[in-house]
Amino acid sequence: MKTLVWVEHDNASLKDATLATVTAASKLGEVHLLVAGSGCRAVAEAAAQIAGVGKVHLADNAAYEHGLAENAAPLIADLMGHHDAFLAPATTTGKNIAPRVAALLDVMQISDIISVEGEKTFTRPIYAGNAIATVESSDAKLVITVRGTAFEKAAATGGSAAIEDVAGPGDAGLSSFVGAEIAKSERPELTSAKIIVSGGRALKDGPTFEEYIMPLADKLGAAVGASRAAVDSGYVPNDYQVGQTGKIVAPEVYIAVGISGAIQHLAGMKDSKTIIAINKDEDAPIFQVADIGLVADLFNAVPELTGKL
Amino acid sequence: MKILVPVKRVIDYNVKPRVKADGSGVDLANVKMSMNPFDEIAVEEAIRLKEAGSAEEIVAVSIGPAKAQETLRTALAMGADRAILVQTDDEVEPLAVAKILKAIVDEETPGLVILGKQAIDDDSNQTGQMLAALLGRPQGTFASKVVIEGDSVSVTREVDGGLETVKLAMPAIVTTDLRLNEPRYASLPNIMKAKKKPLDNKTPADYGVETAPRLKTLKVSEPPVRQAGIKVEDVDALVAKLKEMGVA
């Protein structure tokens, strides 16, 4: 089987989410990559070095600069003339583009797979991760999004794939990019961080969240996350949200501070290797999944912890 | 302008789903069902656009069993003007839903279709994007802000790194994220009035759409259970644990 993998990037560097998707694709067959962007040859060169990649298709055109689904989907649908499966990371970019590709190909997409069980058989979480479905596709071609935390990352180096330029249909004339407010942070990215410190509603407000969570995260070199309650209350921006409808993370260590542990939050972090919870309510559901729990008032415990590390 | 709002009847947000012992699916017998929360946000957004004078009519549509009528009545009580029930007892996958919706869009010619970004049962996150593809129209997915500007719509999207704004030529498809708005509760008088609003009954066959599933569910199982670990007495004990793990 020949697979085509969407390379997630910002026109300058390749995003980690791509590497787990390459691993999922390699379980199906030969791996080809698609780098669609503008002035993104450096990304294609980096992609060509990913271990196990057979070929890199490079579509370098202003129409592909911002990953607009209206422009990217027809390009991918064309390339699917000689590929059997399209896989994209289940990021907001992948989730935006892949179903549009699937509909153009008249294929039912398989969303957010967590394992490859056979050529056409996959598992995926449903009901916010409260159940796991094993599904088999009957379509001739496959369109799949891949949950990054469920697959090992392919090695970023060791390969030497050829880069082939592809033209693609260009601008569909339906949509345009206006602007972005992308948070700049010195801290690691949530979805690839080894350690995450997350805060919940108990942090009270934005300044308090900043005062208690950030120093602990900085001490540990950790990324900062938050529960939906903390995001909805405006303590931190939406891109901090960990949970069913936010980001799915699986770091080595997840430290939940003042988070009760609603199902929707657990769905986003329960695959973390070690979960540590600090909460003053000893009956909080978070303790049912935590490897290490500390029943304490976070306003005393967190500064003490930060000080002693 | 007309706005079309598809809504889905799903397990209530607050109910913990139970996997059936025979692995055939999730037990929905005697379980509270409600409108998919993202779809409530879609209905609310349509109503706000109508209240702001950007839209004249809101048509709610649901594809599902006879009881999906209740979900449509909720949309009507919130403020939709009329409803279409495409009745079927089969499970209809996002691709087939998108095909039925395309046929309805061809008939109704709305300026906007606003959908929830995903349903909280199958968590597919596909229907809006598929509908946009089938119609050859633009899509503004995971919207946290929707602004109509003449014959185009500006959509601010929640993306992994923050927010992104795109401008779409109308007609356009929008899918909602959590922070777009807070849906209103229907008042009692509006619930009474909703009973008299028009509701059309259709079937997938009326739209010439074949709903046979493309994906076969072989098995539904419980996720691996995480065992609760230990509790430590104080911060010193936690620090010691972290040091053992090589974290600090």
The total number of structural domains that make up chain A: 2
| Listed residue (A213, A208, A211, A184) closest to A198, CA to CA | A213
Q: What is the residue whose two structure tokens read 């912890």?
A: A305
Residues A65 and A139 in one domain: yes
Task: Write out pLDDT tens, residues B41-94.
Answer: 999 999 999 999 999 999 999 999 999 999 999 999 999 999 999 999 999 999
Q: Does A107 touch chain B (CB under 8 A)?
A: yes
Q: CA–CA separation, B98 vs A93, rounded Å?
A: 20
Task: Write out pLDDT tens, residues A252-266.
Answer: 999 999 999 998 899
Residues A227 and A89 in one domain: no
Residues A10 and A86 in one domain: yes
Q: CA–CA separation, A274 vs A290, rounded Å?
A: 7
CATH superfamily of B2-244: HUPs (3.40.50.620)
Residues A74 and A149 in one domain: yes
Count of other CB atoms within 10 angstroms of residue A179: 12
pLDDT at res. A86:
98
**Partner-chain contact A291 B230, CB within 8 Å:** yes
pLDDT at res. B228:
80
Residues A149 and A245 in one domain: no
Encode burial over A73-110: b for 16+ CB neighbours within 10 A, e otherwise: bbbbbebbeebbbbbbbbbbbbbbbbbbbbbbbebbbb
Q: Which of A181, A282, A289 sits opposite B226 (nearest CB)?
A: A289
Helix axis angle for B127-135 and B94-108, nearest 10°, is 50
Find the CATH number of the domain harbouring A86: 3.40.50.620
Q: Where are the domains of chain B?
A: 2-244
pLDDT at res. B248:
73
CA distances from A182 to A154, A243, A305 (A): 27, 20, 31
Helix axis angle for B94-108 and A92-104, nearest 10°, is 70
Q: Is the pLDDT of residue A128 over 90?
A: no
Taking the CA atoms of A149, A151, A155 and A161 in sequence, report the sign of the dihedral they define. negative
Q: Is the pLDDT of residue B125 over 80?
A: yes
Nearest chain A residue to B11 by CA distance is A127
Residues A135 and A195 in one domain: no
Residue A182 lies in a domain: no
Give residues 67 to 126 of B whose Cβ lies within 8 Å of A. 93-95, 98, 117-118, 120-126
Amino acid at B181: N
Nearest chain A residue to B226 by CA distance is A289
- Quote the minimal CA–CA distance from B236 to chain A in Å: 8
Q: Could you say which DSSP state residue A183 is in? A: P
For B143, how many CA atoms within 13 A lie in the half-sphere containing its CB? 31
- Quote the minimal CA–CA distance from B192 to chain A in Å: 32
pLDDT at res. A192:
81
Of A165, A182, A209, the position where a domain reaches its end is: A165
Contact list in B for residue A133 (CB cut-off 8 A) is 217, 219-220
**Partner-chain contact B129 A134, CB within 8 Å:** no
Find the CATH number of the domain harbouring A236: 3.40.50.1220
pLDDT at res. A182:
85
Q: CA–CA separation, A18 vs A40, rounded Å?
A: 15
Residues A218 and A301 in one domain: yes
Residues A41 and A121 in one domain: yes
pLDDT at res. A267:
87
Q: Which of A86-95, A196-205, A282-291, B226-235 has the lowest mean pLDDT?
A: B226-235
DSSP β-ladder status, A30-37 and A2-6: parallel
Residues A147 and A14 in one domain: yes
Nearest chain B residue to A180 by CA distance is B164
| pLDDT mean over B201-218 | 97
Return left, alpha or beta for A74; rule: phi > 0 is left, psi -120 to 50 is alpha, else beta: alpha
Domain that holds residue A40: 2-165
Residues A252 and A108 in one domain: no
Residues A159 and A256 in one domain: no
Residue A94 lies in a domain: yes
Residues A121 and A267 in one domain: no
ipTM: 0.95
Q: What percent of chain B has pLDDT over 90?
A: 92
